[in-house]
Amino acid sequence: MSTQQPLITLSDGNHIPQLGLGVWQATQEQAASAVCEAIKSGYRHIDTASVYENEEGVGRGIQQSGVAREELFITTKIWNPDQGFDKAAIALDASLKRLQLSYVDLLLIHWPAPKMDLYIDTWKAVIAAKEQGKVRSIGVSNFNLDHLHRLIDETGVKPVLNQIELHPFLQQNALQQAHKSLGIETQAWSPLGQGKALSHLPIVAIAEKHGKSAAQVIIRWHVQQGRIVIPKSVTPSRIQENFNVFDFALDANDIAAIGVMDEGQRLGPDPLTFPV
Ligand code: NAD
pTM flag (> 0.95)? yes
Which residues are 21's β-sheet partners?
A: 46
- How far is 117 from 111, CA to CA, in rounded Å? 11
Pocket of ligand 1 (CB under 6 A): 22-24, 47, 110, 141-142, 163, 189-195, 198, 213, 215, 230-233, 238, 241-242, 268
What is the tens place of the pLDDT at every residue in 21-44? Answer: 999 999 999 999 999 999 999 999
Which residues are identified as catalytic? 52
Pocket test for ligand 1, best of 192, 218, 244, 274 (most atoms within 8 A of CB): 192
What is the tens place of the pLDDT at every residue in 93-111? Answer: 999 999 999 999 999 999 9
- How far is 62 from 35, CA to CA, in rounded Å? 7
Selection from 16, 72, 77 nearest residue 52 by Cα: 77
Residue whose Cα lies nearest atom 12 of ligand 1: it is 195
Q: What integer best gives the mean pLDDT of the chain?
A: 97
Backbone dihedral angles phi then psi of residue 88, each to the nearest 5 degrees: -65, -40
What spacing in Å lies between the alpha carbon of 171 and ligand 1's midpoint?
A: 16
What is the tens place of the pLDDT at every residue in 254-266? Answer: 999 999 999 999 9
Question: In this structure, what DSSP letter does residue 68 have?
Answer: -
- How far is 82 from 88, CA to CA, in rounded Å? 5
Mean pLDDT throughout 131-156? Answer: 98
